Every structure is written in structure tokens, then in C-alpha cells.
Amino acid sequence: MSAPPLKGIKVVELAGLAPGPFAGLLLADYGASVLRVDRPNAVSGDNLTRHKKSITIDLREAKSRDVLIRLLTATDVLIDPFRPGVLERLGLSPTEVLLKHNPRLIVARMTGFRRDGKYKDMAGHDINYIAVSGVLSMLGRAGDKPYAPGNILGDFAGGGAICFLGILMALIARSSTGRGQVVEANMVDGSAYLATFPRLAQKTPAWDGPRGENLLDSGCPYYDTYETKDSGKYFAVGALEPQFYAALLRGLELDPKSLPKREDRGNWPALRDIFTHRFKEKTRAEWEAVFDGTDACATPVLENVELEASGYEQRPVVHLSRTPSLPINADDGVWSGGGLMPGDGGEETLRAWMGWEPNKDFLIRKDGALVSIGGRAKL
């Protein structure tokens, strides 16, 4: 096997929350050398640090900021997690400063709201971004308020993963043009794009009803979760196709001739009641014994505490047969975070990337921030 596909790619990740670090994590897992830039006196709360290193830069101070600018002349990717205008106010405009110093640099800018939308100057979080994207309105039980599924859709799927995709496309483009560019990703557009199918499906019978009353949004009794006999444990059912539905009924020991026809949505409440009572008759483990190895599309709802206790193996997002990712080991922070502290491994990375040595090519302030010597950090 060859080296990971991104080996040799140098990435500077300005410390942020959730989506930026997740994009950096994906790059690091596939072999990129990722150097996180922390603030002075920062207390790291970032768990997405596997395979990364860190240095401390004071972006408000010219001599410290100068170290970053010089570092970026030998960098492939910069991840900018800040709100619109922050880099420009710091004198780090991607087009006016950074790309002029390094025309091959890819500047990946990750925001929540669109940069040109009505919310661009407002603060927000995942729930706000998926709210204005139209996605949140589709999530939730019938007759209930919209329900945000943690911060998975905005921060990670529509944010960090989409930003990672943009970086990869920019790297491919650079291989033919020789030039970097600015990659702009935002969680509104990212989450809306992920919801392409349900948005289009709202024009069809599959999803044209109110929230929580459709085929795939908990409205359908054979695409839902059911509590088992051991209270607080659940089974997931996704028996959409007729042959899978038939296997489900066999496992539940229900006679299809005695049941309401599933094609009639008016029968869905009655079917849900039947399934609800039936699943309560056995424990989750007992239902596993019934459905394991069948095509009933019925599986246990496993909890993370169970997966951790069982030694669950975290795997890379995709497997490449010739150029696989770096390994993900139990001590890489699968369950407790990577534990990277500001400054960890930074000097080693600067030596590898730039040939720099402390007190010769840069100084380290008492708060850990790197500053240039004689006005500029040496190459």
C-alpha cells in the first residue's frame, strides 16, 4: 500500500469550534500535516484533534501575525473558521494579502450564514443555520415543534464535511492550474444541499404532508422506532419494500391477513399501535435474536456507552484500497477526544515544514505565542 492520499499537504487550521476542526480532522486522518493555530492563554475545548499539532499565535500583534504570514508561504491550505470580515480586519485578507504571498494557497472559509445574505453579520449556531435553510422545518414528530438533531446537520455534515469537499476540489483544480483559490463554505447552503432529496420529495406523495406525517419523517409505522420491554431500549424499523415488510411481520409473528392494509395511510395509526404493543412484549436483546440475519430491516438502537464498552472500532469515513487513511486507534480520542493542548508538537512541525528553530527563527513569549525576530520570521 502507498502513503495516505493527502501526505505532503500542509494545512494551517485557525482554532475554532466544530466545523473548522472537523474539516481539519478529515484532512489529518487522510495524511495531511495539520497545524492548529491557538490563541495565547487558550484553554483547549476541542476534541477534534486527532493527528494534529499546535502552535500559539497572537493574531492581534504584528510580530506574531508575521510568523503566520511567513508560515503560510509554505502552506497548502488555510482553514478560516471566523465570521465574515475577521481576517480582513486582522490584515490577513485572503485575496489582498495571503494569495499574493502564496498564489498556490487554498483559503477555506467556513461560516454559518451566507456571506452575502441578510443574516451575514449576525451570530448563530447550528440550530439557526438549519432553521433558515429550510431543513429544520422538516424535522420533528407530527403535531410537535421542529426538532434539531444535535449539531450534526449544520456544524458537521453541512459545515465541516462540505468544507472538506471544497478543499479537495480546490486541490484537484490546483493540480492543473497551479493556482490556489478561496473556498467559501457555509452551513446554510451545506445543510440545504444535503436536504435536496426531501425538499424535492415534498412535491411528491412521499413527503407532501405536514411534518411528521410522511414516509421517512416518523409518520410511517414501518419506518420508525419502538420501545422494547426493557424500558428505555429501542428497535429501529425501516421495512419500506413489500418483501422487507413481510419479513418484519414474520419476525413479529403477525398475520398479514389480519392487519390493516399498509398502503392506506388512514391505517397507519392502527398499525403503529399494533407494532408498539408487540415490541413491548420482548426485550431488545430478544428482538435482536429474532431479527439478526433477516431482511426485515429491523435493528437495535445502540447507544454510544454500549459501543464504547464493547470496544467499538471507529473507522475512517471511507476506505481507500491503495492509499488508506491513517489508523484510528483507541487512544486517538475515539471516545474522549484527542487531548491536543496549545503548543503540542508545534516546534517539531515548524522544523519539518520550514526548517525553523526557536530563538533563531522565532521567539516564544511567556504566554506561548510565537513572534518574529527582527521584524520578520526567517524562511
Instruction: Give the active site residues.
Output: 155
**What angle, rounded to 10 degrees, do the helices at 284-291 and 242-252 form?**
130
Assigned C-alpha cell, 165: 469537499
* The amino acid at 210: P
List beta partners, residue 236. Answer: 225, 299
**What angle, rounded to 10 degrees, do the helices at 187-194 and 162-177 form?**
100
Contacts of 60 (CB under 8 A, 6+ apart): 90
Distance CA 278, CA 228 (A): 9
The kind and range of the H/E element at 38 are strand 33-38
Contacts of 196 (CB under 8 A, 6+ apart): none
What are phi and psi for residue 128, nearest 5 degrees?
A: -75, -40
Contacts of 347 (CB under 8 A, 6+ apart): 55, 358
Distance CA 377, CA 77 (A): 20
